[in-house]
Amino acid sequence: MVTKVRTLSDLAKLAGVSGSTASRALNDNKLISAKTRERIQKLAAQHNFKINTAARNLRLKTSNTIAVVMVKSSELDQSITDSFLLNMVGIIAEELSRHGFDVLLVTHFIGQTTSLDEYFTMNRADGLIVFGQGDDITAFNQLFNHLNPIVVWGEQSPQNDYVTVGTDNVKGGYLACQHLVQQGCQNIVFSGVRSFETGKRFEGYQKALKQANLKVPLPLDIHFTSEDAYKVTLELLKTKQFPYDGVVAASDNIALGMIRALHEQGVSIPEQVAIVGYDDIEVCAFTKPALSSVHQDIHQGGKHLVNCLLDLLAKKPVESVQLDTQLITRDSSVRNPK
């Protein structure tokens, strides 16, 4: 009702003190008498005063901001539309807000001129949470090693200095493939490009095949969209080059695209081809047939990403986290339900 209190000196004037005192009072500095502190804080609340972030950040060389970065290795990389990642981003954003941080959403192309460390040098972010170790591991590694507070969603590796949070991809790939073997599949293909992370899934898949003395067919190069999976699969089917009776897909979206193509060509699932996806996105339970998938818990993942970053910011020692993973079997892969 009275005058607008925009700046700290407005508030100070109103309280009849200097700017320094007002500043310290709001920051609960013990230099200021408890009485004054309380008085000023109350006044600030009454007048709905909010500190100016830009000024504060400039002075303190901080940002109070966490950048959530989606690294895209190419324009083709559809990570930003991947519902698994987006869901996790949503969870993280909410969690960070709760801790009082601003969340900056960034899409970054590998090879782009602006470098990510600019976020630190220019005090644009106090920390980074990164998605998409991407297809080009070396470029990525180079980007992050030795940098400030960074947590990466993905696969950990001794070559990396940065902290990672992720699931056990080798185990995931192994479980998926082993399950298909148990269902009697003889010719199981891995479907999806092998990035750093999905490469680990491929490893696990290979391990299971070798254990069963089955051959490892050449994997299918499919990008992370239903669309691409659909196209590639349809092409193979039409040219009679789809000899597989089992598929371990690198993501649920890939699995869904393939299922669609297989359906269209009259291939029955899981009888002729059994298929397992990866991520266990919410819709797996609703697809036709319901999609077996390797579960990655986004809530747990999001929480760990945030916690690790907060610990890094607090200079606490932080270890990379590898979450457990588990296979959820549904109709798309189970051939003989008891």
Partner DNA sequence: TGTAAAAATGCAATCGATTGCAAGATAAAA
Partner DNA sequence: TTTTATCTTGCAATCGATTGCATTTTTACA
Which one, 104 or 318, has the nearer CB to a second copy?
Answer: 104
Helix (H) or strand (E) holding 189: strand 188-191
Amino acid at 164: T
Applying CB under 8 A, does 1 fall inside the site for a second copy?
Answer: no
Binding part of the chain for DNA, among 33-41, 103-111, 208-216, 244-252 by CB under 7 A, reads: 33-41
- Widest CA span of the chain, in angstroms? 85
Residue 56 phi/psi, 5-degree rounding, is -60, -50
27 binds, among DNA, a second copy, none (CB under 5 to 8 A by kind): DNA
Judged on CB neighbours under 10 Å (0-12, 13-18, 19+), 86 is: middle
Applying CB under 8 A, does 226 fall inside the site for a second copy?
Answer: yes
Question: Which residue among 103, 262, 275, 310 contacts a second copy (CB under 8 A)?
Answer: 103
Binding part of the chain for a second copy, among 31-39, 83-91, 144-152, 321-329 by CB under 8 A, reads: 83-91
Contacts of 266 (CB under 8 A, 6+ apart): none
Question: Which residue among 31, 105, 139, 283 contacts DNA (CB under 7 A)?
Answer: 31
Strand partners, 131: 70, 153
Residue 132 phi/psi, 5-degree rounding, is 95, 75
Core vs surface per residue 242-281: b (16+ CB within 10 A) or e:
bebbbbbbbbbbbbbbbbbbbeeeebebbeebbbbbbbbb
| CA–centroid distance for 51 within its chain | 32
CB of 63 to DNA, least distance (A): 12
Binding part of the chain for a second copy, among 96-104, 141-149, 216-224, 241-249 by CB under 8 A, reads: 96-104
Applying CB under 8 A, does 283 fall inside the site for a second copy?
Answer: yes
Applying CB under 7 A, does 60 fall inside the site for DNA?
Answer: yes
Helix (H) or strand (E) holding 166: strand 163-167
Binding part of the chain for DNA, among 58-66, 85-93, 201-209, 232-240 by CB under 7 A, reads: 58-66
CB of 292 to a second copy, least distance (A): 14
Question: Which residue among 2, 48, 61, 138 contacts DNA (CB under 7 A)?
Answer: 61
Of residues 60, 78, 62, 58, the one with CA closest to residue 70: 78
282 binds, among DNA, a second copy, none (CB under 5 to 8 A by kind): a second copy
Give, rounded to a whole angstrom, the gap between the first and last alpha carbons of the chain. 73
Applying CB under 8 A, does 328 fall inside the site for a second copy?
Answer: no
> Cβ distance 217 to 189 under 8 Å?
yes
81 binds, among DNA, a second copy, none (CB under 5 to 8 A by kind): a second copy
Which residues form the interface with a second copy (CB under 8 A)? 6, 48, 50-55, 57-58, 63, 68, 70, 80-81, 83, 86-87, 89-91, 93-94, 97, 102-107, 114-115, 118, 121-124, 226, 256, 259-260, 282-283, 285-290
